[in-house]
Amino acid sequence: MDTSDWFRQRFDPHQCPVLNHTHILDPQALRWWLGLQHNTDKQTLEEVMSQLFQVIPPPSLDLQPLPSRCRSCAVVGNSGNLRHSGHGKMIDSHTSVIRMNKAVTSGFEEDVGNRTTHHFLYPESAVDIVDGASLVLLPFKVKDLQWLTSALSTGHITMTYMRVKERIKADLEKVLVVNPEFFKYCHEHWTEGHGRYPSTGLVALIYALHTCDQLSLFGYGADQNGNWDHYWEENPYPGAFRKTGVHNADYETQIIHRLAQEHKITLRT
C-alpha cells in the first residue's frame, strides 16, 4: 500500500509509545507535559517513576507489529453511535480490543462486544480492569503516576483535582504507561496543536497505529449537536470537553477521516 506524504510527515516509527524505567524525558517534552494540568508535587519525575517501577515491572512487551503475525486491533471509543450498531461480534473478533475511560460492556455486548485487551484511563476516569487486560495509563501530570503506584499498592492517594478511585483492580504484569513524549508527539504531529491536548481516543488511535497491523475504529463521532455523548448513558453534560475546548473534536475527526481515506484504518461508524 502506498504511503502518502501526508502520512509520512506525521507518522514517526521511532516514537516509543510506552514509558519504561530507564526513560529520561526530553526537557522540551517534559516542559510541555508539566504544563498540561496543575502540578503541585515536589517529587521529581525520576523519583516518581522509580517508585512506580517498583510496583509494576518495566514493560517487556514487543510493541512493534510483526509482519509474520498479523495483529488486528479494534479501537473502541465511547460514542453514542455504538448504540444499536450490532458491532459487538465484529469488535470481539479482533486480536486486540482497546477500550477507554468509563467504557462498560456489561449489558451492551451486542453493540460493543465483551473482550478487552487494553484499557486506557487516567485517575479521574479509572475503572477496574477486566481479567487478562492491560491497564494503560494516559498520564497528564506527575500526580497521575503517583496515583497509579498508590492505586496498585497502598491506596493512600484519594484526591487529584477531584476525588479518585483509591484502589484499582489490574494485573500488575500488564500495566503500561503512555510515554509523555509520545503524548506530545500526538499533539504536535497529529492534532498539530489544535486543542490544548489530544483526547484519550486520539492517543489510543495513534498508539494502535504504532503497535498494530490492521486497525478498525469503532465508537468515534459526536452526536447531532456536536457533543461527545456516551453509548451507556443518557448524557447530562456530554459537551463538556467541546465547550471547554480542551480537545478539538472537529480536527480529530478530520484526522480520522484522512486515515480512513488513506486505508490506514477502517472506520466502522
Q: What is the binding site for ligand C5P (CB under 6 A)?
A: 77-80, 100-102, 199-202, 220-222, 228-230
Nearest Cα residue to 131 out of 149, 112, 116: 116
Specify the residue, 33 or 197, whose C-beta has the smaller distance to ligand C5P: 197
The least CB distance from residue 121 to ligand C5P, in Å, is 9
Nearer to ligand C5P, 102 or 243 (CB): 102
- 201 assigned to a ligand binding site: yes
Residue 20 assigned as binding residue: no
From 197, 207, 220, 231, active-site residue: 197
Identify the residue whose cell numbers are 500500500. Answer: 1
Is 207 annotated to bind a ligand? Reply is no
Which cell is 80 given? 453514542
Please state the closest distance from residue 62 (CB atom) to ligand C5P, in A. 26
230 labeled part of a ligand binding site: yes
**Closest to ligand C5P by CB, 181 or 229:** 229
| Alpha-carbon distances, residue 29 vs 34, 53, 145, 186, 207 (angstroms) | 8, 21, 16, 12, 17
Residue 196, phi then psi, degrees to nearest 5: -70, -40
Whether 119 sits among the annotated catalytic residues: the reply is: no
Give phi and psi for 214, each to the nearest 5.
Answer: -130, 125
Query: Does 247 qualify as catalytic in the annotation?
Result: yes
Smallest distance, Å, CB 5 to ligand C5P? Answer: 26
**To the nearest whole angstrom, how small is the minimum distance from the Cβ of residue 200 to ligand C5P?**
4
Q: Distance of CA 62 to CAs 17, 76, 212, Å?
A: 11, 22, 11
Helix (H) or strand (E) holding 97: strand 96-100
Residues annotated within a binding site for substrate: 37, 78, 101, 161, 197, 201, 221, 230, 247
Question: Which residues participate in catalysis according to the annotation?
Answer: 197, 247
